[in-house]
Amino acid sequence: MSKFPEKSRDREGLLEEMRLKKAEDYRWQEGKTFAYVYYPGEEILSTVKAAYNLYFSENALNPSAFPSLKNMEIDLVSQLADLFHAPKGHAGCLTSGGTESILLAVKTARTWAQKKKGPSFQGEVILPESAHPAFHKACYYFGLKPVVIPVDKNFKANPAAMAAAINERSVLLVGSAPSYPQGVIDPIEAIGKIAQEHDLLFHVDSCIGGFILPFMEEAGFPIAPFDFAVPGVTSLSADIHKYGYAAKGASLLLYRHAELRKAQFYVYANWPGGIYASPGIAGTRPGGAIAAAWAVVQFLGRTGYVRMCKETIETTRRFARGIESIPELKILAEPEATIIAIASDDLDIYEVGDELGILGWPCDRQQLPPSLHLSITVAHTPLLESFLADLKLAVKKAKRWSWNKAGKEIQLAGLRFFKEVLSAEHFERLKNWASKKSPIGGKRSAAMYGMIGELQEDGNVEELVADFLDRMLSKDKE
């Protein structure tokens, strides 16, 4: 337990304490992280920060209170509609991030279907297994059923299998441009055709690609159309706080026509506090996030984004070639944008991830199949050689026998054994014990991922992970 602070403190001491607290955090300024922060360099970052601070206190909850913010949002949505080839009659809004954009797109699909089929109708969302968990979260929150379709051998959505899953309850199809786990672009044109044939809504999740893909052709890397240029696409999300380089808290959600956006709004007219209307999930909305998003798009413009895109794609491809040159490693799919998934046929790739993390390069573990995730940015351009040297070292270390690995094998063997012979209650206790042993975010997580893989068949991984999370967010962790 912490005590509520009794006395005031001096500002300098406080800020210094916070700076020191950062010692164990990811060192994104050095380019040694591959997710969470999209560092564009000091010039862009300081401009975005200045724009954010100009609107630090303003609140976009009431559009008539701060017309300057409202106009920046309208202006930016309109500029981005141009970027994503939205036709006349389009409508959109800024949200707090990719998750809110996706939650709203799914909520809109529900309301849209309920207008035709009645207020109790709960539809189905057809999505590739590579689609972001935010779609599952949305279905869970809003009472829709996710229908998950396996991806093909290139990790792309399978349009024929998606079409086969359509029934009278279907309301929304989903495609990613690109997907987060392997960085491949789903066949958007083929899915668009199916959406049109069946008169369904179709959301393109371009959260991570939204500020890369539109600039690829000019950067010298042509790609197939993925946005509103494709007939059948009815909504699209693009995170300005990823490769748009805005401050955290900014994503675009865009609809082909304004009627769809209206299905997103929430209005309550009987509140003693007044008539309440809000476009998205949040009430109070930080003015700074909107101002910074508007500012960075004006600051960079098309030429700036093309320059950033060109460097990012070139760096991604150089990383991919370098990784492939290590015999024990492979990449799961040829990166079509800025994401690389590293896997191995010979080694436990999670062991490589653990060693790489210890060498100062933390990267996220992925599953089904196991891999390590890299989202590449311009911050990585100067680091190719040092990364590859450490990756080779990590592979070498992962091949060695060690007490860590032996411990992991024993833990897994124990788990398999006890699963067979223990009562449900004892097994629960064992899992509880194991979850305390292997916190998420620890330096070594190969053991934990092994355990999760082992438990996946039982279908009770969710509870175990919720326990991990609860412990991580608690003050008195053991």
Ligand X SMILES: *Cc1c(COP(=O)(O)O)cnc(C)c1O
Enumerate binding residues for ligand X (CB under 6 A): 97-99, 102, 132, 134, 176, 180, 205, 207-208, 239, 251
Q: How far apart are the C-alpha atoms of 394 and 358, rounded to whole Å?
A: 9
For the bound state, the minimum distance from the C-beta of residue 375 to ligand X, rounded and expressed in Å, comes to: 8
Give the CB-nearest residue to ligand X: 98
Based on CB atoms, which residue is closest to ligand X, 146 or 450?
Answer: 146
Shortest reach from residue 181's CB to ligand X, in Å: 9
Alpha-carbon distance of 142 to 138, in angstroms, equals: 6
Determine the Cα–Cα distance for residues 407 and 419; give it in Å rounded to an integer. Answer: 18
* 396 φ/ψ angles, rounded to the nearest 5 degrees: -60, -45
Question: Which residues touch 180 (CB under 8 Å, ≥6 apart)?
Answer: 130, 132, 207, 208, 339, 373
Q: What is the DSSP string of 210-250?
A: TTTGGGHHHHT------STTSTT--EEEEETTTTT---SS-
Task: With beta carbons less than 8 A apart as the criterion, state whether 370 and 354 touch.
Answer: no
* Closer residue to ligand X in complex, CB, 239/351: 239
Give SS3 for 304. Answer: helix
N- to C-terminal Cα separation, the chain: 13
When the beta carbons of 180 and 255 are compared against ligand X, the nearer one is: 180
- In this complex, which beta carbon is closest to ligand X, that of residue 66 or of residue 228? 228
- Whichever of 235 and 411 has its CB closer to ligand X, that residue is 235
Alpha-carbon distance 335 to 318, whole Å? 11
Least distance CB 379 / ligand X (angstroms) = 17
Minimum distance from residue 16 beta carbon to ligand X (Å): 31
Q: How far apart are CA 316 and CA 34, in angstroms?
A: 11
Nearer to ligand X, 214 or 450 (CB): 214
Q: Which is nearer to ligand X, 280 or 450 (CB)?
A: 280
Does residue 194 sit in helix, strand or coil? Answer: helix
Minimum distance of ligand X from residue 94's CB (angstroms): 12
Q: What share of the chain is helix, strand, coil (3-state, %, to 5)?
A: 50, 10, 40
Nearest residue (CB) to ligand X, 253 versus 398: 253
Largest CA distance in the chain: 69
Closest approach of ligand X to the CB of residue 97, in Å: 3
Checking DSSP bridges between strand 170-176 and strand 201-205, what pairing results, if any? parallel
Q: How far apart are CA 454 and CA 435, in angstroms?
A: 13
Q: What is the closest distance, in whole angstroms, from the C-beta atom of residue 102 to ligand X in the complex?
A: 6
Q: Find the shortest distance in angstroms from Cβ 36 to ligand X.
A: 9
C-alpha to C-alpha distances, 121 to 134, 147, 164, nearest whole angstrom = 21, 16, 21
Cβ 26 to ligand X shortest distance, Å: 16
Closer CB to ligand X, 237 or 344, in the complex: 237
